[in-house]
Amino acid sequence: AQSVTQLDSQVPVFEEAPVELRCNYSSSVSVYLFWYVQYPNQGLQLLLKYLSGSTLVKGINGFEAEFNKSQTSFHLRKPSVHISDTAEYFCAVSDPNTGGFKTIFGAGTRLFVKA
């Protein structure tokens, strides 16, 4: 069964600094990978997704992620964060061989941007 490990439970960072949120997934022949963001008292919103093709994926709000098959990683990056980026970030995986159903989420990383 697929699983996702988010290596940091909390990441504090100063405004305008770069940030990387780390994600590793259990090995599979092929995977779909996602990053979602959750603001307080809200549901999850898709930031970006990797389905196939280019390993560098760009998403909304200036975020990007790189798929590394050999490392089974899908780390999320932003070159310069804003206060408004403070939120919970979830890495997720699904198995395309099952039609992409049953998306599995990591435990989340809380990004806290300080002024």
Partner 1 sequence: DAGVTQSPTHLIKTRGQQVTLRCSPKSGHDTVSWYQQALGQGPQFIFQYYEEEERQRGNFPDRFSGHQFPNYSSELNVNALLLGDSALYLCASSFIGGTPEELFFGSGTQLSVL
Q: Which residues bind partner 1 (CB under 8 A)?
A: 4, 6, 32, 34, 36, 41-46, 49, 51, 90, 94, 96, 98-108
Nearer to partner 1, 13 or 51 (CB): 51
The nearest distance, CB 8 to partner 1, in angstroms, is 13
* HEC-encoded secondary structure of 31-100: CEEEEEEECCCCCEEEEEEECCCCCEEECHHHCEEEEECCCCEEEEEECCCCHHHCEEEEEEEECHHHCC
The nearest distance, CB 105 to partner 1, in angstroms, is 4
The nearest distance, CB 80 to partner 1, in angstroms, is 27
- Residue in 10, 12, 19 with CA at minimum distance from that of residue 79: 19
The nearest distance, CB 107 to partner 1, in angstroms, is 5
The CA distance from 101 to 47, in Å, is 18
Nearer to partner 1, 15 or 59 (CB): 59
Nearer to partner 1, 17 or 60 (CB): 60
Nearer to partner 1, 64 or 96 (CB): 96
Q: Is there a contact between 90 and 48 (Cβ–Cβ < 8 Å)?
A: no
